Amino acid sequence: MTNKFRYFIANWKMYGNLNSLKSINNVIKFTKSNSKKRFKLIYCPPYTLLSAFCAKLQKSSISVGAQNCHEKNEHGAFTGSVNAQMIKNLGVKYVILGHSENRINGDTDDIINKKIKSALNQKLTVIFCIGETLYQRNNKGTNKIIKKQIIKGLKGLKKNSKIIIAYEPVWSIGTGIIPKNYELEKNIKFINSIILKNTKLKKFRILYGGSVNPKNIENLNTISMIDGYLIGGASQDPKKLIDIIKKSYN
């Protein structure tokens, strides 16, 4: 396996409490002793743990990301919401936007576009999620939906906007089922070409997300167009997370 640079983004979703912080001690140790390996690990815990993660990881090479933010730049009467400024203020560097679990809850492409602009405005790096549902895939609608998500979501962004793409087929998230290699390669190539044709972005990485685990990581790593992974379930188990990274560099 080459020493290719890869992102490993740990999406903890709505899991974790202050006690879970202890669980990442071994991961911190592991990243320290593997500092020559070319990877970037980013923990994305729920809002409630962002401060504690930032404090704990301050002296490590591991960064912290949020899982969402409000679309408004300014503060205001939006009960239960958190904006990009508030996240940035904690020392957070990344934010996941457009995750299918938030698209289902009402995040439209236009709202996601506003959130992305607001996050970039605060100099956060955006992890922008796109992907088709099983219905769309089975009805040959993958290209159409991905194209729409990209064009609308990334509308009006400047050339150097800090965007990481996470291609997450919705039917792979939490199901244990991942696309066949040829399908992943085809879709990632398509994503790459649509971004280059329809946006000003030139420099971006494309990650894969959906049921990444220590059993399928070696196969996924054979796909050279994948620049890393957005990992949900497996990322909460430090052993599995370390195993995924280890197996990417053996």
Residues involved in catalysis: 99, 168
Q: What angle do CA 204, 125, 145 make, to 5 degrees?
A: 55
**Interface with ligand PGA, residue 210, by CB under 6 A:** yes
Which C-beta is closer to ligand PGA: that of 188 or that of 212?
A: 212
Q: Three-state DSSP class for 126? A: strand
- Work out how close the CB of 164 gets to ligand PGA at its nearest, in angstroms, rounded to a whole number: 13
Is residue 44 within a helix (H) or strand (E), and if so which, with residue range? strand 39-44
Q: Which of residues 7-26 bind ligand PGA (CB under 6 A)?
A: 11
Q: Which of 192, 233, 237, 243 binds ligand PGA (CB under 6 A)?
A: 233
Q: Which of 173, 194, 217, 244 binds ligand PGA (CB under 6 A)?
A: 173
Nearest to 71 by CA among 95, 50, 48, 47: 95
Provide the terminal-to-terminal Cα distance of the chain, rounded to the nearest Å. Answer: 6
**Interface with ligand PGA, residue 179, by CB under 6 A:** no
- Work out how close the CB of 230 gets to ligand PGA at its nearest, in angstroms, rounded to a whole number: 4
Q: Which of 231, 242, 244, 245 binds ligand PGA (CB under 6 A)?
A: 231
- Work out how close the CB of 209 gets to ligand PGA at its nearest, in angstroms, rounded to a whole number: 4
Taken in order 157, 206, 129, 197, the sign of the CA dihedral is positive
Distance CA 78, CA 144 (A): 34
Distance CA 75, CA 118 (A): 12
Which C-beta is closer to ligand PGA: that of 210 or that of 238?
A: 210
Which chain residues interact with ligand PGA by CB under 6 A?
A: 11, 168, 173-174, 209-212, 230-234
